[in-house]
Amino acid sequence: MILAAWILFFHLQFGIYMFLLSQVELTVLSSDISDSGFNFKLLWVLGLLAAAIVMFVKNKPRMDAVGVVMIAALPLTGIISVEETLIGFSDPNIVLIAVLFVMGEGLVRTGVARNVGDWINEKAGGNETKLLVLLMLSVAGLGSVMSSTAIVAIFIPVVFRICSNTGIPPSHLMMPMSFAALISGMLTLISTAPNLVVNSELIRQGEKGLGFFTITPFGLAILALGVVYMLFARKWLPNNSDKSVRKKRKPTFKDWIKKYELIDREYRVKILPESSLLGLKINELDLKYDGLKLLAVERKDGNKKVFIRPSKIMDFQVDDILFLDVREHEIDLKSLAEKYGIEKISLSGGKGYLTSLSQELGMVEAIIPAESGLVGKSVKDARLRSESGLTVIGLWRGNKVVLDEFLEKEFKVGDTILIAGFWEDIKRMGQVTDELVLLNLPIEFEEVLPAADKARHAMVILGLVVLTMVTGVLPNVHAVILGCLAMGFFRIIDMNSAYNSISWKSLVLIVGMMPFSIALQRTGGVELAADGLINLVGESAPWVAIASLFFITAVLGLFISNTATAVLMAPIAIAMAYDLGLSPYPFAMAVILAASSAFMTPVSSPVNTLVVGPGNYKFGDFVKIGVPFSIIVMIIAVFLIPLILPF
C-alpha cells in the first residue's frame, strides 16, 4: 500500500511535468524566438520546483531551510524580483497565521486549551481510538465556522497535553488533526477562502450562488470517511515520538501521594464568625501541634480568591479557609474545631493531597547531601519552614516511607524528603540553598498557568474574534490582531510569550514556497495546464469531466495555494459546464472539494505545514497517508456530486 502510494505520487509529479513540458514544446514550435525564451523560463521554474520536492522527500536540508533556498534562487531566474520573493512576509495570511499562534498561547496560559484537552481526554478515558475520533470531530466542528489554520494553531498545545497525559506519541494525533481541519473546509460556505472564491465566480456568471450549507452533505460524508480511514491508517503513522514521550515522563502529585502515603492527609477548615482565632496573629496562638501543619490560607479579595503564605504576623479573618496537613492519628481534629470555632469543609472534587491546588501550591523531592547542615537534625528542629516558607511532609529512607514518629526522626545522608509550599518558594530554594539537592520538579510545575484567573476574558475575546470573522465585519487578520491586543490589555499574554509562541520555522517554509505561485502564473505554466485540461476532457461523459477537474485542481494545489487554485479553476469549471450544456453547480463543487483535499504533502497547505514539527513527520509520511486518502475522496466526490447536485 505504501509503495503504491509512493509510485502514484511520483507518477502525479511526473505527469504534470510532462504535460507542462509538452505544452511548452508545442508553443515553441508554433511561436517565434522571443516566445521560446519565455517558455525556457518556465522550464527553470519547474526545475526549481522539482529540486525543492526532492529536498523535501530527502528531508535534507530541513524544510524551512529549503524555503530560504527558494527565496534566494527564484530571483536568479529573472522571472520575479527579490521584492516579489519576499512579499510573503507582508501577506495577510502569513500575519494571520503568526497572530493565531499568539491567540493560541493566550488560551494555553489561561488553561482554556488545557480544559478542552482534559475534556477530550476524560471522555476518551485514555483510549487512543476514542481520542482520535473526538479530536477530529472537535477540530472539524470548530473549523466549520473559523479558519482551519487557526484551529490547528490552537489545538497543537491541546494535543501535546493529551499525549503527555496518556503517553500516546504526538505523531499519532497531529496528522489526523490536520486532516480534520482540512475537511472542515468542506462543511460550510465560510469555512475556507476557496469556497467563497468559487461562490463569487458563480454569482459573477449570473448564477444564484451556493447556500450556507450546500457543501455540508459532502463534508459530513468525507469527515465520517476520514475518521474511519485514520483509524485504519494510523498504523502507518511514525512512532518516532513514543519513546521520548514515555522516557521523559516526570513524576506527578499522584505518584508522590501514593509513595509517601498522603491519602487523607489534607484537610480544609473554615473560620466561622464566632471563632476565637479572629483578630489574632499566628505567633499569638498555640498552633504548634505535632502532626498539624498550616500550608496556606485562602481569602476572598472582592470577587476573586487569593492564596496567602502563612506568616507569624498574619491575622485571621472570617471565612478564611485554612489548608492543613494533618496526621489524623496524632490530632483530635474534632476537639480542635470546637476549641477554635472552625468548621471542616470537603475537598474540591476530592482529588487528593494538594492536587486541586496545583496552580498555587506545589511539591518537590529533595535529597540530603553529605555536607548538609540538616544531617543529624529532626524534621521538627530543622526549622525549614521559618527559613524557606516550605514544609516537610514526607520522608523516604532506603526503600520505604517513614511514618512512625516522623517529626522526631533525624535526617541522614541520602534521605529523600518531600517538601510542600508555594511554587515561588520552591523555585527560590532551588537557587539559594546548599542544604538540599532538589530533584526533578513534577509535571504539575510545567502546567502552572500564568493567567489562570483570566480564562473567562480569553473565552470572551476568542468568541468576539470568531464572531467578527464569521460575520465579516472586519478582515480576518484585523480581527485577530485586535484579539491579541485585547489579550495583552488584560495581561493574558505579554510580549515575550507572544514572540516565543510563534512557530517561525513554519512561517519561513510557507513564505519560501509562496513565490512559486507568481512564477508559475507569470511564465504561463498554470494557464497551459488549464487549457490542456479543457482540450483533454472535450465531450467526455460528465463524471469524467468532474473527475478530471478534481484531479487537476488537487494536483495544482501541490504547487500553489488552494485559494489561488480556486481563483484559476472556478471559471474553467463553469466554462466546462456551459460547453457541455450542464449545470455549473456540480463542476463548481468539484473545485471546492478538491481545493480542500490538500492531504498529499506537508507543503500543500499551511494546515499540514503547522503539524510537521510537532508531529516530527517527514515528507514521505504525508505522501503515504495523504495520497490514498485523496484518491478515496475523489472517488466519493465523483459519486456524490451527481446525486446531490444533478447535472
Neighbours of 30 (CB within 10 A): 8
106/89 Cα distance (integer angstroms): 23
pLDDT score for 327: 72
Question: Among candidates 158, 180, 181, which has minimal Cα distance to 168?
Answer: 158
Q: What is the 3-state secondary structure (H, E, C) of 492-515?
A: CCCHHHHHHHCCHHHHHHHHHHCH
Contacts 24+ apart (CB under 8 A), 467-471: 469/146, 469/147, 470/145, 470/146, 470/190
> For 391, phi and psi rounded to 5 degrees?
-120, 130
Q: Both 206 and 275 in a single domain?
A: no
Element (H, E) at 240: none
| Cell numbers placing 425 | 518558594
| pLDDT per residue as tens digits for the range 32-48 | 434 444 467 788 887 88
Q: Both 278 and 414 in a single domain?
A: yes
Residue 61 lies in a domain: no
pLDDT score for 369: 85
Which of the residues in the chain have pLDDT under 70?
1-39, 53, 56-59, 93, 113-114, 145-147, 150, 240-249, 283-291, 328-332, 347-352, 430-433, 447, 506, 517, 521, 525-534, 537-540, 559-561, 563-564
Q: Which residue has the cell 497551459?
A: 528
Three-state DSSP class for residue 293: strand
| Cell numbers placing 51 | 529540486
- Angle value at C-alpha 302, between 296 and 304, nearest 5 degrees: 55
Residue-by-residue DSSP string for 409-471: PBP-TT-EEEEEEEHHHHHHHHHH-SS-EE-PPPHHHHT--TTGGGHHHHHHHHHHHHHHHHH
Bridge-based pairing of strands 437-438 and 416-422 is unpaired
Q: Both 278 and 142 in a single domain?
A: no
Q: Both 169 and 286 in a single domain?
A: no
524/541 Cα distance (integer angstroms): 29
Measured CA to CA in angstroms, residue 186 lies from 121, 140, 572, 592, 609 at distances of 27, 9, 20, 7, 19
Residue 80 lies in a domain: no
| Cell numbers placing 278 | 479572629
Residue 585 lies in a domain: yes
197/174 Cα distance (integer angstroms): 28
| Cell numbers placing 420 | 510542600
Q: Which residue has the cell 509520511?
A: 621
pLDDT score for 357: 79
| Cell numbers placing 266 | 489534607
630/638 Cα distance (integer angstroms): 12
**Contact at 8 Å (CB) between 202 and 645?**
no
Residue-by-residue DSSP string for 15-35: HHHHHHHHHHHHHHHTS-HHH
Number of Cα atoms under 13 Å in the Cβ half of residue 327: 18
pLDDT score for 415: 87
Residue 372 lies in a domain: yes
CATH number for position 388: 3.30.70.1450
Residue 486 lies in a domain: yes
Residue 62 lies in a domain: no
pLDDT score for 224: 94
Q: Both 235 and 258 in a single domain?
A: no
Three-state DSSP class for residue 351: coil
Amino acid letter at 576? M
Q: Both 359 and 305 in a single domain?
A: yes
User: 326 forms bridges with which residues in the sheet?
Assistant: 292
pLDDT score for 311: 78
Neighbours of 100 (CB within 10 A): 27
Amino acid letter at 146? M
pLDDT score for 40: 78
Residue 65 lies in a domain: no
Residue 77 lies in a domain: no
Q: How many domains does the chain have?
A: 3
**Contact at 8 Å (CB) between 226 and 136?**
yes
Q: Both 105 and 209 in a single domain?
A: yes
Q: Both 411 and 542 in a single domain?
A: no
391/400 Cα distance (integer angstroms): 20
Measured CA to CA in angstroms, residue 490 lies from 40, 175, 312, 423 at distances of 56, 34, 34, 23
Q: Both 258 and 401 in a single domain?
A: yes
pLDDT score for 180: 92
pLDDT score for 24: 43
Q: Is 378 exposed, middle or buried (CB count within 10 Å of its CB: 0-12, 13-18, 19+)? A: middle
Q: Both 240 and 274 in a single domain?
A: no
Q: Both 487 and 542 in a single domain?
A: no
**Contact at 8 Å (CB) between 541 and 529?**
no
Element (H, E) at 495: helix 495-501
Question: Among candidates 133, 132, 121, which has minimal Cα distance to 171?
Answer: 132
| Cell numbers placing 48 | 526549481
Q: Is 1 exposed, middle or buried (CB count within 10 Å of its CB: 0-12, 13-18, 19+)? A: exposed
**Contact at 8 Å (CB) between 256 and 442?**
yes
Q: How many residues does the chain have?
A: 647
Q: Which residue has the cell 470531530?
A: 137
How far out from the chain centre does Cα 208 lie?
38
Q: What is the CA radius of gyration of the chain?
A: 31
Q: Which residues span the domain enclosing 151?
A: 92-247+453-505
102/484 Cα distance (integer angstroms): 7
Spatial CB neighbours of 624, under 8 Å, sequence gap ≥ 6? 1, 2, 5, 6, 236
Neighbours of 36 (CB within 10 A): 14
Q: Both 459 and 437 in a single domain?
A: no
487/308 Cα distance (integer angstroms): 27
